[in-house]
Structure 1
Amino acid sequence: MQCDYFDAGLCRSCTLMEVPYGSQLAAKESACRTHVDASGVTWLPPVVSAEAGFRNKAKMVVGGTLEAPTLGILDPQGRGVDLQGCGLYPPSLRASFPVLARFVTRARLQPYDVPGRSGELKHVLVTQSPDGELMVRFVLRSTEALARIRKHLPWLQDELPGLRVVTANVLPEHKAALEGEREIVLTQDDTLRMSVDGLDLHLRPQSFFQTNTDVAAALYRQASAWADEAAPRSVWDLYCGVGGFALHLAGPGRVVTGIETSAEAIESARATAAEAGLAGVRFEAGDATAFALASSDVPDLVVVNPPRRGIGAELAGWLERSGVARVLYSSCHAPSLARDLAAMPSLRPARGRLLDMFPQTGHFEVLVELVRA
């Protein structure tokens, strides 16, 4: 992938931009095998991604001036660097950026000046569904600009016909954070439908969804295929998010329970299950470790998809002691995966697969099937 921003030294976020894609994959496969250090593991061919245009979400820092706002990143001095032409986004998503920049000027949303700690608009977060519909979130310092956003919202909806959800997120603190806790929905719709393998996953503003839709779909299909081979009657999906794994693993005669701390994500998962008519699936908001430790039951299969920190010693210890026959571990951080595997010596890696969710970087997703020895 060629990138003018990278060549000009304006953005170096894609650390592997100059590395041929085949070499990127080989290095990631090597890292997987190194961290999943066990003999007898069968490694399936990696799931490859498009090298460009694969991101479904843009996290744009707003800089510049009211008349000439930038959407992109900040340089080391805290000044805005405009990246509206970034090739990681598909053309249909990139087409929304100039419109959003004009909206910043039209609605008088003063870009936040990090060095000076002044201004209102900190970030613009844009998510695109596979059908081309959009969710736009304006991350603001306060609610001062709400009336102007509401006033000019019809213009934005006219300019972006696929716009379904618009929110204002309030982040008053001066800190390195992407968003705040308060979310104000400004449109009739409050969820974006992410169609994956025939399921409409409902994505709410603060719900997590994988950044690469095609590779995420492959991840869910692989987990479903391995689960179907084992034919479990009961499944737990811990850290379930909007229910991607749980909903794909649901089926006749199978009881699936999804656990996630985000109440918004749980509501999204319940909505999808109800629309799809999936019986035997339930979702509860709560801490994954606390749920496991408090349960008197042990399922046939556990799926874990934790954040970068991994599942941690307590949950790994419970899985080791529980007697659960199989675990599907989806990890975005190989070192934490290795640490968790070391705490579960009775659950041996049997199969693994690299899924290249993040081309041009050293990051990746890996799915590992653990079988009790």
Structure 2
Amino acid sequence: MKKGEVYEGYIEKVDFPNKGRIRIDGETVIVKNGIPGQKVRFVINKKRKNKAEGRLLEVLEKSELEKREPVCSIFPACGGCMYQTILYEDQLKMKEAQVKELLDDALAAAGQVDEQGNPDYIFEGIQGSPQEFEYRNKMEFSFGDEYKGGPLSLGLHKKGSTYDVLTAKDCKIVHPDMTEILKTVLQYFTELKAPYYHKISHEGYLRHLLLRRAETTGEILVNLVTTSQQKYELESLLQQILALPLEGKIVGILHIVNDSFADVVKSDETRVLYGQDYFYETILGLRFKISPFSFFQTNSLGAEVLYSAARAYIGDTKDMTVFDLYSGTGTIAQILASVAKEVIGVEIVEEAVEAARENAWMNGLDNCRFMAGDVLKVLDKITDKPDFIVLDPPRDGIHPKALPKIIEYGVEQMVYISCKPTSLARDLGVLMENGYRVEKACCVDMFCSTVHVETVVLITRVDK
């Protein structure tokens, strides 16, 4: 087996997040973006002594799991919702099995097994999202073209491509309000023949369309992201967007100027063209003010399921000081505040910290304190000692130098909320090596039709 050779084979299983396993002549090849049971053609793009990776070229035969037709026009070229042809209950079973295998392996490696050698913890399965479609409250659409020199497009990157952008004119994981806004913006700039920003030459005007829509209030924030290289009249676009017959209500339209070379949605300058630069969402009876770049769970109703599961694991925190590390806009902290002595949130994004403080004030909570900074550094400055710790880190998990500081507090219990089970499994290994055990775990599917899933774990100290 050599690099550049083309093979055909069946995907036997898919490991989290999307690593399909194919056996060829006794060797296992990892091929991403497939579904168990598919027969695929692939090319070897990496080959080392004990490891081979392939790039998917074509699906030759469907999987038995694919029991329905695609729901959008750009499947499978768009890599976002690669499981949409699988019934939702089968998606849940697959994700549940993937996470359980990762946790089982982590526990077995740490020696947390019963007399029969089985992982010794309670795995409580997976809970699905209340909505399978139209669940995303935030979407970053990119400007570009579907092929080199093609007409202007606005949507999502083609699977495996850094440059090609597919127009998401019927994306099913966002509310139709977002689709109508996208089509209006695309048509406006197509007629103006406005150029999109080229990542190589760093020239052009149009970069992104960032849309946020609250599930409970229906409030919509429209954010047009461009460079400062050219100027276009935007008043007509404003009037066209405001005239759309939407189910929700547009509360703000912003023009965000971003001259960064990096392909990220950020602001060098934000201009409010209409209304305000925030909107409101409600989670578990609490009201949250959200600005363009505030972190907030992208599935609002799914977040209620996730935070309810976490709250059940946390249990009684009366008279306790709780640390909410990687606290974002303070959602978890405020959910716990009513049943805790004090909650201290730590978050590196200053804008999120300001939002958390404002949200706590708005919800009448005076026992929440939020600190801006890297958890690794802030823990050295906090004089308070926690009775309970909630961990909700970014995808890469907890910084390896921060984990010993967290362990040193010696709290009886912690709850770890993770959006990347592989990072979670790694961090659990360290925690179990240092006197903790995994009591129970569950999954919550916040990202229907995609490869991602959230996991909640209750951890207890056993070695004092």
For the 8 Å contact 2:219–2:279, the answer to whether it is kept is yes
Aligned CA distance change for structure 1 residues 275 and 103 (closer, same or farther; 3 Å): farther
1:99 alignment counterpart: 184
Alignment of 1:171-182 (within 5 A): 171-175=258-262, 177-182=263-268
Which structure shows the bigger proportion of residues in helix conformation? 1
1:278 alignment counterpart: 365
2:62 alignment counterpart: none
Matched, 1:355 2:355: no
Q: 1:70 aligns with which of 128, 141, 153?
A: 153
Q: In the aligned structure 2, how far is the partner of 1:108 from the partner of 1:275? A: 45
Aligned CA distance change for structure 1 residues 98 and 320 (closer, same or farther; 3 Å): same
1:13 alignment counterpart: 80
2:220 alignment counterpart: 134
Q: In the aligned structure 2, how far is the partner of 1:240 from the partner of 1:107? A: 43
1:54 alignment counterpart: 135
Aligned CA distance change for structure 1 residues 189 and 143 (closer, same or farther; 3 Å): farther
Q: 1:259 aligns with which of 346, 371, 376?
A: 346
1:219 alignment counterpart: 306
1:371 alignment counterpart: 460
For the 8 Å contact 2:168–2:179, the answer to whether it is kept is no
Q: In the aligned structure 1, how far is the partner of 2:311 from the partner of 2:383? A: 26
TM-score (norm 2): 0.73
TM-score (norm 1): 0.89
For the 8 Å contact 1:348–1:372, the answer to whether it is kept is yes
The residue type equivalent to 1:355 in the other structure is V
Q: In the aligned structure 2, how far is the partner of 1:143 from the partner of 1:77? A: 22
Q: In the aligned structure 2, how far is the partner of 1:267 from the partner of 1:344? A: 31
Deviation at 1:272, TM superposition (A): 1.3
Tell me the secondary structure at the aligned position of residue 211 of structure 1.
Answer: coil
Alignment of 1:63-212 (within 5 A): 63-64=144-145, 69-75=152-158, 76=161, 78-105=163-190, 109-114=194-199, 117-130=202-215, 131-142=217-228, 144-145=230-231, 148-149=233-234, 152-159=237-244, 162-175=249-262, 177-186=263-272, 187-212=274-299
For the 8 Å contact 1:108–1:148, the answer to whether it is kept is no
Q: In the aligned structure 2, how far is the partner of 1:314 from the partner of 1:242? A: 24
Deviation at 1:151, TM superposition (A): 6.8
Q: In the aligned structure 2, how far is the partner of 1:18 from the partner of 1:274? A: 45
Deviations 1:114-133 (A, max 9, x none): 56643201110101101221
2:334 alignment counterpart: 247
Matched, 1:3 2:66: no
1:328 alignment counterpart: 415
Look at both structures and tell me which one has the larger radius of gyration over its CA atoms.
Answer: 2
Deviation at 1:253, TM superposition (A): 5.2
Alpha-carbon RMSD across the aligned residues, in angstroms, is 2.7
Q: Which protein, 1 or 2, shows the higher relative CO under an 8 Å CA cutoff with sep ≥ 6?
A: 1
Tell me the secondary structure at the aligned position of residue 95 of structure 1.
Answer: helix
For the 8 Å contact 2:197–2:203, the answer to whether it is kept is yes
Q: In the aligned structure 2, how far is the partner of 1:31 from the partner of 1:293? A: 36
For the 8 Å contact 1:47–1:215, the answer to whether it is kept is no
Deviations 1:317-355 (A, max 9, x none): 112222112111111111111111111122211121101
Deviations 1:41-94 (A, max 9, x none): 2223422023322211221111249x9642213444834421120111122332
Aligned CA distance change for structure 1 residues 151 and 91 (closer, same or farther; 3 Å): closer
For the 8 Å contact 1:255–1:281, the answer to whether it is kept is yes
2:380 alignment counterpart: 293
Q: In the aligned structure 2, how far is the partner of 1:267 from the partner of 1:299? A: 22
1:317 alignment counterpart: 404
The residue type equivalent to 2:348 in the other structure is T
Aligned CA distance change for structure 1 residues 308 and 227 (closer, same or farther; 3 Å): same
Aligned residue-pair number: 370
Q: Alignment identity in percent?
A: 28
The residue type equivalent to 1:44 in the other structure is E
The residue type equivalent to 1:132 in the other structure is G
Deviation at 1:152, TM superposition (A): 4.6
For the 8 Å contact 1:266–1:285, the answer to whether it is kept is yes
Tell me the secondary structure at the aligned position of residue 312 of structure 1.
Answer: coil
For the 8 Å contact 1:112–1:121, the answer to whether it is kept is yes
Tell me the secondary structure at the aligned position of residue 292 of structure 2.
Answer: coil
Deviation at 1:107, TM superposition (A): 7.3
Deviation at 1:190, TM superposition (A): 1.9
Structure 1: gaps spanning 5 or more residues: none
Deviation at 1:223, TM superposition (A): 1.9
Deviation at 1:274, TM superposition (A): 0.9
Aligned CA distance change for structure 1 residues 77 and 181 (closer, same or farther; 3 Å): closer
More divergent stretch after superposition (347-356 vs 98-107): 98-107
For the 8 Å contact 2:326–2:392, the answer to whether it is kept is yes
The residue type equivalent to 1:329 in the other structure is Y
Aligned CA distance change for structure 1 residues 183 and 245 (closer, same or farther; 3 Å): farther
Q: 1:31 aligns with which of 90, 98, 101?
A: 98
Aligned CA distance change for structure 1 residues 33 and 269 (closer, same or farther; 3 Å): same
Deviation at 1:155, TM superposition (A): 4.4
The residue type equivalent to 1:41 in the other structure is Y
Q: In the aligned structure 2, how far is the partner of 1:265 from the partner of 1:183? A: 18
Tell me the secondary structure at the aligned position of residue 294 of structure 1.
Answer: coil
Deviation at 1:169, TM superposition (A): 2.8
Tell me the secondary structure at the aligned position of residue 245 of structure 1.
Answer: helix
